[in-house]
Structure 1
Amino acid sequence: MLESEFDWSEGERGTFSWLDYVVFGGMLALSLAIGVFYAIKSRKKSNDEFLLGSRSLSCFPVSMSLLASYVSAISVLGGPSEAYYHSVQWWVICLSQVVLPVVAAVLMPVFYELRLTSIYEYLELRYSSRAVRLVAAGMFVSQALLYQAVVIYAPALALASISDFSLWISVVSVGFIASFYTAIGGIKAVIWTDVLQLFILIAGLFSVILKGIYDLGGLSAIWDTAVRHGRAGPQIFTYGYHPMQRHTVSNIVIGGIVSKLYGYACVQTAVQRYSSLKSLTHAHLSIYLIIPFYTLIVSLTMIAGIVMFATYEGCDPLAAGLITKKDQILPFYVMDQLSVIPGLPGLFVACIFSGSLSTISSGVNSQAAVTWEDMFSRRPGCAKLSKTAQAWITKCFALGYGVLATALAFLGDHLGGILQGTIAITSAVSGPILAVFIMGLFLPFVNSKGANAALIIGSLVSLVFSLGPIALDMNPDLLPTSTDLCPANLTLPTPGSDVVSVSELQYPQKLLSLSYTQIAPLGFVVSLTIGILISLITGRSNGLLIERRLVHPWVRWSLPDPNELNAKSRLIPMTN
């Protein structure tokens, strides 16, 4: 945290003005108002209304909500710091969106036509096993809960470390507000607040970029500075598949493709939104609309990063000891450079909170849907409840998950290293869950034993490689920065390094240096292999007859004609 005696940027660090509080408070108040509006407006007190919006929504707000669910505050903070300290090579993640038309045309229609409230119900229907459904649902709920805690805590910590904004006020505000408007307003409140928050996020990034362009004499000068210092330009891109290297074009694109297949095709947060749309056409459009807006947001984070680098070309705040983590660079820049314009710091904090709120609200709504549908709806006592009672129980689940995520965020202050571990856990489940859905759709011979083994073994392998770099205390190398132009009265920290380079490791430890971008692809390949092998060893489908619409149209020819099925078939009835 900056001290007042530091003569940084011709004065002390910036603080919030009354206008900043108005801008920030207005965003929070508007988010709450949307939740209250839909709580009052909704006359249908049922889970169909609360979780799916009576299947009446249109493509644009749902598309923006889908995007906002995955563009969290961590992305807003991490993207600019990535460009600042590592280069804009991450920009090529936009190329991974080539898979979104595949999601729209090939995968999403199958799930949309099944009209399921919980995507994990598909696994029970397809594999004739409740265990597969519960394992996958449990993995989703656990990783979503842990990720939400990080999304609440990390931005609050970054803001508190460089400003006078209280850490715990941030944590409680995000957790309570998101949980409250989600619990009372349901999926419609989540979607429309996501739209609001996404555009506030975009406005916040634009404010950073425009201020930098104005101060530094244009985008061309900023780009030239970034090229000169190895942050931009053709020379920064590394080609070829090198799984032990942190970033190459191939690594980023392959990892992004697997992550987007999982995130937009077979995770509850996405499929629940597709199910809320009024038609399949709207579902298709909701996916296609993501492409330009995602490209815009990634581009804004990259440009913001090189704007900040050009601003601090001669005195890097991290090297100067003014911040302690690279992800604090964007909040530092805002309080240092934008505080001269009242309202802009408030807009930026609203931008960060918007990223957190949209992720938390989407998560708790989806967790509530999964918990009710997969774990309680078929219990005798719950099934007999009225629709209103069922809706109230689901709302309590949503509120409870928000409170629990907030409580876990409080632990971050005492268990600092657990934050990195939590992020590793969230990436460990995507590959295995994707593999189980792909096998279910395209490989009719894969059985429940193969599916369960794929989920468990694939997740364990992914988790080992996710936690390996943390156990070895590995940190990515940063590109060189300068402190030559720092103020003379600024006491610079003693140079030191706690970075463990991959080149210093020996086998078998070196195997654990697998790029984090390859964790999801690894989990997918391992799970796919395990699922196929175990299924072949245990008798394939064991004569179980699978309903044709549970597999993809491309492979339905391999199943028996439904007219030939007899009364002895163990066909699982579909449920809406």
Structure 2
Amino acid sequence: MLESSFDWSKGVRGSFGVLDYVVFGGMLATSLAIGIYYAIKSRNKANDEFLLGSRSLSCFPVSMSLLASYISAILVLGGPSEAYYHGLQWWVICCGQIALPVAAVVFMPFFYELGLTSVYEYLELRFGSRWVRCVAGGMFVIQMLLYQAVVIYAPALAIASVTDFPLWVSVITVGVIASLYTSIGGMKAVVWTDVLQLFILMTGLISVIIKGLLDLGSFQKVWDVGVKNDRAGPQIFTYGYIPLQRHTVPNIIISAFVSKLAQYSCTQTTVQRYTSMKSITHAYMSIFLVIPFFILLISLTMVAGLVIFATYEGCDPLAAGLITQKDQILPFFVMDRLSVVPGLTGLFVACIFSGALSTISSGVNSQAAVTWEDVFSTIPRCAKLSKNTQAWITKFLALGYGLLAVCLAFLAGNLGGVLQAAIAVTSSVAGPLLAVFIMALFMPFTNSKGACAALIIGTGIALGFSFGGTALGLKPELLPTSTDACPANLTIPLPPDTLPVRVSDLPYPQKILGLSYTQLGPLGLVVGLIVGVLVSLATGMSGGRRVERSLVHKWVRWSLPLPVDITARTKAHSYDNKMSTHF
């Protein structure tokens, strides 16, 4: 029987106690204090301090920041619900971490030595066109804005649905505080608050696991329940590459490899952190340190989901009508089981919003960097401003992006389709963007027309598949659950008359739109490479434009002619002059 801390059959929600507010408020206040500290310490300093931390950061905090930038509250909520309703097969995403050594060895040294604040400036230097730089930078800014709206709104909605914590308070509090400490403290504030928030996030997940194990008796019991219900054990893994199936082991590994390679090789958020390191050795270490911590965090979310399933084996809250969405299962468990211990509910809310804060702060700092470097710094009047004035403009840009994300979060609440669109954009942009950087670094014959076509067409096709599946009403099937042990006074809602649309039920060509969401990134990568190469070949390749050897990867520099007179060329061309300072 489901023994709740309060009577859910009467519609009562969990409430915050004084200690819960103290714990949650303490996390927010500490994050803000870190921003104020670095604002005071770095006052009257230039953009190099605000955006790159004066290039003096070390490996441990940066590795935590790299991890926190992509571990949002969506993962904290979605990981346990994935294990609960779909099983542990998603755990193999950890195998995708093999992409990080590739990023460390192949991509990171190149961009570290390049030393640019905006990674998209490299595309202009390589292809000799501002269009590629603007398209790539614009896609990054839009992608981050939409993703930030999801990161703010989704956890706020999940918590508001099972507690008395108002939705609008959650949205405004998290968005404004993250924007404020980022805009005043800069990169160092972002990095060190990421460390704090990642620690709180892990502490919250561990508390969920410990409380569940204490109630159930042992992990062996949890595992046995999971195996019996097809949530755990070797029988849950599906081998073979099946693009139309939601999850198989190859599907997940391929998706994770592409997404991690894109994230840690050529996105503004990560490259900006590489260039903020005090040495290339620290940059290497920052990437490799991500691997064990990522595996630990994913493992915590999976184990938490398994513990929660064992707790509600006989009375699934979703099937019983106690929650309306599967991602609410973790907040429900916390309010149901942890609220008896003062402060633990506040710790959990701090855990959820720590994931949101770290993603938002990293995003707005990178968006400000891209906007200043790719837009304002190219305007002669802005370039002549004092360094202190430039830094203030960049800070206001960061604050503005944060507040804009808050506004989009409220819009997402009124227009439900925006949430789906934001998630689709995030996964669909990564593949084509990686394709363009592969073209730039390893294919000297490609040109700006091919790069722009790769970005636009690759992203468009990936989004088309995503929106097509949504239009057909495709939804993932949940593993069976039970309500046999629910309390007698609990009214169980009748099952819906209509079953979810399954890919196997669709005829061709609609069946093709059932492509697994895990394959959107790989699809965008393959389409981007093919389109970029073909368009470049059809438009005269480099068109006689000489590609500098320093702008392609050292592995392919042998294919380019030796430079004739670098000194003379750099005097004639301003961008060549800028590049010569780095090589």
* CA distance 1:218–1:13, change in 2 (3 Å): farther
Determine whether 1:186 maps to 2:203: no
Partner of 2:468: 468
Instruction: Give the number of aligned pairs.
Output: 574
Tell me the secondary structure at the aligned position of residue 322 of structure 1.
coil
Whole-angstrom distance in 2 between the partners of 1:282 and 1:9: 55
Partner of 1:481: 481
Partner of 2:552: 551
Whole-angstrom distance in 2 between the partners of 1:470 and 1:108: 36
Partner of 2:502: 501
C-alpha root-mean-square deviation of aligned residues, in Å?
1.8
Conserved? CA contact 1:8–1:487, under 8 Å: no
Conserved? CA contact 1:7–1:490, under 8 Å: no
Whole-angstrom distance in 1 between the partners of 2:169 and 2:115: 40
Conserved? CA contact 1:6–1:489, under 8 Å: no
Determine whether 1:166 maps to 2:166: yes
- Aligned AA for 1:194? D
Report Cα offsets for 1:224-281 as digits up to 9, x if no partner: 1001000000000001100000000000000011100111110000000011000000
Whole-angstrom distance in 1 between the partners of 2:527 and 2:416: 31
Partner of 2:98: 98
Conserved? CA contact 1:124–1:133, under 8 Å: yes
Partner of 2:287: 287
- Aligned AA for 1:153? Y
Conserved? CA contact 1:473–1:500, under 8 Å: yes
C-alpha deviation, 1:13, in angstroms: 4.7
- Aligned AA for 1:251? N
Whole-angstrom distance in 2 between the partners of 1:553 and 1:180: 41
C-alpha deviation, 1:505, in angstroms: 0.8
Question: Which has the larger displacement, 566-575 or 358-367?
Answer: 566-575
Tell me the secondary structure at the aligned position of residue 478 of structure 1.
coil
1:393-404 equivalences under 5 Å are: 393-404=393-404
Question: Which has the larger displacement, 483-492 or 412-421?
Answer: 412-421
C-alpha deviation, 1:380, in angstroms: 1.2
Whole-angstrom distance in 1 between the partners of 2:73 and 2:200: 12
- Aligned AA for 2:557? R
C-alpha deviation, 1:509, in angstroms: 1.1
Partner of 2:562: 561
Whole-angstrom distance in 2 between the partners of 1:393 and 1:44: 13
Report Cα offsets for 1:449-477 as digits up to 9, x if no partner: 11111111111111101212211111100
Partner of 2:521: 520
1:64-213 equivalences under 5 Å are: 64-213=64-213
Report Cα offsets for 1:50-94 as digits up to 9, x if no partner: 000000000000000010000000000000000000001010000
Partner of 2:318: 318
C-alpha deviation, 1:12, in angstroms: 5.4
Tell me the secondary structure at the aligned position of residue 300 of structure 1.
helix
Percent sequence identity is 70
C-alpha deviation, 1:7, in angstroms: 3.7
Report Cα offsets for 1:462-515 as digits up to 9, x if no partner: 110121221111110000000000010111111014511001111121111000
Partner of 2:217: 217
- Name structure 1 gaps, 5 residues minimum: none
* CA distance 1:337–1:11, change in 2 (3 Å): farther
Tell me the secondary structure at the aligned position of residue 75 of structure 2.
helix
Partner of 1:419: 419
Whole-angstrom distance in 1 between the partners of 2:394 and 2:6: 52
Conserved? CA contact 1:421–1:470, under 8 Å: no
Conserved? CA contact 2:14–2:162, under 8 Å: no
- Aligned AA for 1:52? L
Partner of 1:30: 30
Question: Which has the larger displacement, 40-49 or 165-174?
Answer: 40-49
Report Cα offsets for 1:429-448 as digits up to 9, x if no partner: 11111000011011111111
Whole-angstrom distance in 1 between the partners of 2:77 and 2:201: 11
C-alpha deviation, 1:543, in angstroms: 1.6
Partner of 2:531: 530
- Aligned AA for 2:500? V
Partner of 1:405: 405
Conserved? CA contact 1:13–1:336, under 8 Å: no
- 4+ runs of 1 displaced by more than 4 Å? 8-13, 564-572
Partner of 2:42: 42
Partner of 1:258: 258
Conserved? CA contact 1:446–1:531, under 8 Å: yes
- Aligned AA for 2:307? V
Determine whether 1:541 maps to 2:536: no
Whole-angstrom distance in 2 between the partners of 1:562 and 1:59: 36
C-alpha deviation, 1:412, in angstroms: 2.0
Tell me the secondary structure at the aligned position of residue 553 of structure 1.
coil
Whole-angstrom distance in 1 between the partners of 2:406 and 2:89: 34
Tell me the secondary structure at the aligned position of residue 432 of structure 1.
helix
- Aligned AA for 1:535? S
C-alpha deviation, 1:565, in angstroms: 6.8
Report Cα offsets for 1:536-567 as digits up to 9, x if no partner: 11111112111212111110101111136796
Conserved? CA contact 2:9–2:489, under 8 Å: no
Whole-angstrom distance in 1 between the partners of 2:404 and 2:264: 25
Conserved? CA contact 1:48–1:54, under 8 Å: yes
Whole-angstrom distance in 2 between the partners of 1:542 and 1:564: 21
- Name structure 2 gaps, 5 residues minimum: none
Whole-angstrom distance in 2 between the partners of 1:370 and 1:8: 48
Whole-angstrom distance in 2 between the partners of 1:487 and 1:390: 63
Tell me the secondary structure at the aligned position of residue 306 of structure 1.
helix
Whole-angstrom distance in 2 between the partners of 1:236 and 1:9: 34
Conserved? CA contact 1:6–1:490, under 8 Å: no
Tell me the secondary structure at the aligned position of residue 563 of structure 1.
coil
Conserved? CA contact 2:9–2:491, under 8 Å: no
Whole-angstrom distance in 1 between the partners of 2:569 and 2:179: 48
Whole-angstrom distance in 1 between the partners of 2:85 and 2:116: 44
Whole-angstrom distance in 2 between the partners of 1:434 and 1:72: 22
Tell me the secondary structure at the aligned position of residue 413 of structure 1.
helix
- Aligned AA for 2:98? V
Tell me the secondary structure at the aligned position of residue 340 of structure 1.
coil
- Aligned AA for 1:502? V
C-alpha deviation, 1:568, in angstroms: 7.8
- Aligned AA for 1:538? T
Conserved? CA contact 1:49–1:186, under 8 Å: yes
Whole-angstrom distance in 1 between the partners of 2:368 and 2:13: 42
Whole-angstrom distance in 2 between the partners of 1:420 and 1:509: 20
Whole-angstrom distance in 2 between the partners of 1:6 and 1:359: 33
C-alpha deviation, 1:141, in angstroms: 0.2
Whole-angstrom distance in 2 between the partners of 1:257 and 1:477: 25
Report Cα offsets for 1:203-240 as digits up to 9, x if no partner: 00000000011110111110110010000000000011
Partner of 2:442: 442
Whole-angstrom distance in 1 between the partners of 2:357 and 2:7: 35
C-alpha deviation, 1:413, in angstroms: 2.1
C-alpha deviation, 1:9, in angstroms: 9.9
- Aligned AA for 1:407? C
- Aligned AA for 1:288? F
Conserved? CA contact 1:455–1:527, under 8 Å: yes
Question: Which has the larger displacement, 426-435 or 302-311?
Answer: 426-435
C-alpha deviation, 1:14, in angstroms: 3.3
- Aligned AA for 2:454? A
Conserved? CA contact 1:52–1:187, under 8 Å: yes
Whole-angstrom distance in 2 between the partners of 1:9 and 1:178: 37
TM-score normalised by the chain length of structure 1: 0.97
C-alpha deviation, 1:15, in angstroms: 1.9
Whole-angstrom distance in 2 between the partners of 1:44 and 1:296: 40
Partner of 2:242: 242
